[in-house]
Amino acid sequence: MADTDASAEWHRVASVGEVEEDEPKPVRIGETLIALYNIQGKFYATADVCPHEFALLSDGYVEGDTVECPLHQARFHIPTGKVLDPPAEDNVATFSVKVEGDDILVGIPKS
Amino acid sequence: MAPDDKFVIIGAGQAGGRAAETMRTQGFSGKVTIVGEEAYPPYERPALSKRVLTGEDEPDSTYVHKPTYYDEHQIELKLGVSAMTINRSAKSVSLSDGTSLDYTKLMIATGSQLRRLSLPGSDLAGIHYLRGIDDSLMIRAKLSAGAKIVVVGGGYIGLEVAAAARKCNCQVTVIEMMNQLLNRAAAPEIGAIFEAIHRSHGTEILTNTPVTGFEGDGHVQRVLCGDFKPIDADLVIVGIGIVPNVELASAVNLATDNGIVVDEQGRTEDPDIYAAGDVTNHPNVILGRRIRLESWQNAQNQAITAAKAMCGVEETYAQVPWFWSDQYDINLQIVGMPKTWCEVVLRGDIDALTFTAFYIQDGCVVAANAINNSRDIPIARQMIQRKIKIDTVALADPETSLRKLLKSFDA
């Protein structure tokens, strides 16, 4: 995942104050559903839909830097999207995040 | 672990599939063989009474792994074959096809079988049970619009079948012998809410009603209910529970007690024989007692722990039991398995069917039922696991953040 502005289209999705620690926020960019996380003041974004079955990770349970899917309790590492516990087998997609002033921006790879 | 070690798994269900996978992810390089009676690779059962039954999903959506996975990971699937006997001294399993398999370590993941009715007429055609893919497909083929479906048993399976049959525009009657639905699993208030949900979807619910027999000319036409009026039926589906398949184990004197008795790693009293899934009676350190579970969670996670132990990695299996059910547009999630509770605290909007019921015993949360409210479940699980004394007024107040309530105990 590149952090450079050139490879991504940046979209403002929320203000800093809107994303509480341990309370992921669902946002969307076009058709893409995204979960936004605040881990000790640093922001991260993953795809919001669990790669196993349809459930929103933004409804999930955040503990440390992991999120647990509310449907089948698959667990993912938020910064990397890596799957930690079954039944999910695939990692969840992650997106670049940057903060400009009060704005949180998420980078979607240019297609 | 030597490359010529042989791990044999009896039972190609969810537990068997997850166990084999775990052996490979743990780096076990010996032979892995799964023996299964059915023709299908390991699959998960929950959808069989839900989306597979309505035709929204196909059976292959339930597979634990794609069929090609097993070859790719050198896991031998012997399907359509039953294990007949275990020989503990020779360390081999004889199979129904006349062959036998030697093992260095064995896992018994034989699951459960249906409890069946033994009543006048209970062998008539048109009386079905739901356990496997074939059962689900057979029932699904008969859920035609207008068909009179009688469901015997108001537990999860019965209610899920009823919801699926209503979705297919059948006429549905559920007969429950006890005075409430979900009698074994939920508080009376929750049973009453599910009764109202089913009624609102046009399902007839008869509680306190015994089934005493069936009548019909070769094929069932009526369900007899003792002194009550008989009920017309084109199809009967019976969901009255399951019993663990312990016969292989008890035949070779492995201890059984409502399940094969195992330790925290799924080990039986024979150090080379393990068991996992529905078939085990296992200790749960969180609950402080031995339990047997009929659940997706246990089939997956106990199998993983037991397979790791077979590979020499010792972990303790203990989780707060977790279950779910889908009926109509209702998702019910349950954590905990209390024997008793003294109070049920409701939180959320009951009329809108978005709420959580917390079961309280001695000031602690011992279980929770979330109705269309799954996000409360992980927090309830933490409360149960940590045996937190909870302020029930704050718990019931939707203005209180559950997470903050939980965190207030972290200090």
Distances (CA, A) of B126 to B167, B209, B220, B238: 20, 21, 6, 11
Determine contact, residues B35/B95, Cβ cutoff 8 Å: yes
Determine contact, residues A87/A65, Cβ cutoff 8 Å: no
> Measured between CA atoms, how close is A70 to chain B, in angstroms?
6
The answer on B249 and B169 residing in a single domain is no
CATH number of the domain within which B355 lies: 3.30.390.30
Radius of gyration of chain A (CA): 13
Nearest to B374 among A22, A71, A87 (CB): A71
The answer on B304 and B274 residing in a single domain is yes
What's residue B88's pLDDT?
A: 98
HEC assignment per residue over chain B: CCCCCEEEEECCCHHHHHHHHHHHHCCCCCEEEEEECCCCCCECCHHHHCCCCCCCCCHHHHECCCCHHHHHCCEEEEECCCEEEEECCCCEEEECCCCEEECCEEEECCCEEECCCCCCCCCCECEEECCCHHHHHHHHHHCCCCCEEEEECCCHHHHHHHHHHHHCCCEEEEECCCCCCCCCCCCHHHHHHHHHHHHHCCCEEECCCCCCEEECCCECCEEEECCEEEEECCEEEECCCEEECCHHHHHCCCCECCCEECCCCCECCCCCEEECHHHEEEEECCCCEEECCCCHHHHHHHHHHHHHHHCCCCCCCCCCCEEEEEECCEEEEEECCCCCCCEEEEEEECCCCEEEEEEEECCEEEEEEEECCHHHHHHHHHHHHHCCECCHHHHHCCCCCHHHHHHCCCC
Most B-contacting residue of A54, A73, A76, A85 (CB-CB within 10 A), to test interface: A73
B297 vs A: CB within 8 A: yes
Most A-contacting residue of B50, B304, B325, B375 (CB-CB within 10 A), to test interface: B375
> Measured between CA atoms, how close is A89 to chain B, in angstroms?
10
The dihedral through the CA atoms of A6, A7, A9, A10 has a sign that is: negative
CATH number of the domain within which A58 lies: 2.102.10.10
Interface of A with B (CB under 8 A): 22-23, 55, 59-61, 68, 70-73, 86-87
Q: Assess if residue B119 is contained within a domain.
A: no
What's residue B411's pLDDT?
A: 58
CA B344 to centroid of chain Cα atoms: 24
B282 vs A: CB within 8 A: no
Per-residue pLDDT 10s for chain A (111 aa) are 445 556 789 999 999 999 988 889 999 999 999 999 999 999 999 999 999 888 899 989 998 999 999 888 899 999 999 999 888 889 999 999 999 999 999 999 886
Nearest-CA neighbor of B377 among B355, B362, B399, B360? B355
The answer on B336 and B197 residing in a single domain is no
The answer on B233 and B134 residing in a single domain is yes
B321 upstream amide cis, omega within 30 of 0: no
Q: Assess if residue B315 is contained within a domain.
A: no
The answer on B165 and B16 residing in a single domain is no
CA B184-B47-A77 angle, to 5 degrees, is 95
Give the residue ranges of chain B where pLDDT is below 70.
1-2, 411
The residue in chain B having the minimum alpha-carbon distance to the alpha carbon of residue A61 is: B378
From chain A, the residues in CB contact with B300 under 8 A are 86-87
Domain that holds residue B259: 6-113+242-310
The answer on B336 and B281 residing in a single domain is no
Q: Assess if residue B322 is contained within a domain.
A: no
The answer on B131 and B104 residing in a single domain is no
Determine contact, residues B132/B37, Cβ cutoff 8 Å: no
Q: Assess if residue B267 is contained within a domain.
A: yes
Nearest to A70 among B18, B297, B374 (CB): B374
B308 vs A: CB within 8 A: no
What's residue A2's pLDDT?
A: 44
The Cα B394–Cα B368 span in angstroms is 16
Q: Are strands A61-63 and A66-68 parallel, antiparallel or unpaired?
A: antiparallel
The answer on B211 and B133 residing in a single domain is yes
What's residue B185's pLDDT?
A: 82
The answer on B246 and B231 residing in a single domain is no
The Cα B261–Cα B266 span in angstroms is 8
Q: Which residues fall within 8 angstroms of residue A1, CB to CB, at 6 or more apart?
A: A94, A95, A96
B43 vs A: CB within 8 A: no
The answer on B289 and B276 residing in a single domain is yes
Helix (H, G, I), strand (E, B) or coil at A95: strand
Domain that holds residue A98: 5-109
Amino acid at B160: E
CATH number of the domain within which B181 lies: 3.50.50.60
* Phi, psi of B266, deg, nearest 5: 80, 15
What's residue B184's pLDDT?
A: 83
Q: Assess if residue B321 is contained within a domain.
A: no
Are the Cβ atoms of B322 and A73 closer than 8 angstroms? yes
Q: pLDDT tens, B339-379?
A: 999 999 999 999 999 999 999 999 999 999 999 998 899 99
Looking at the structure of chain A, the number of domains it has is 1
The answer on B334 and B254 residing in a single domain is no
Looking at the structure of chain B, the number of domains it has is 3
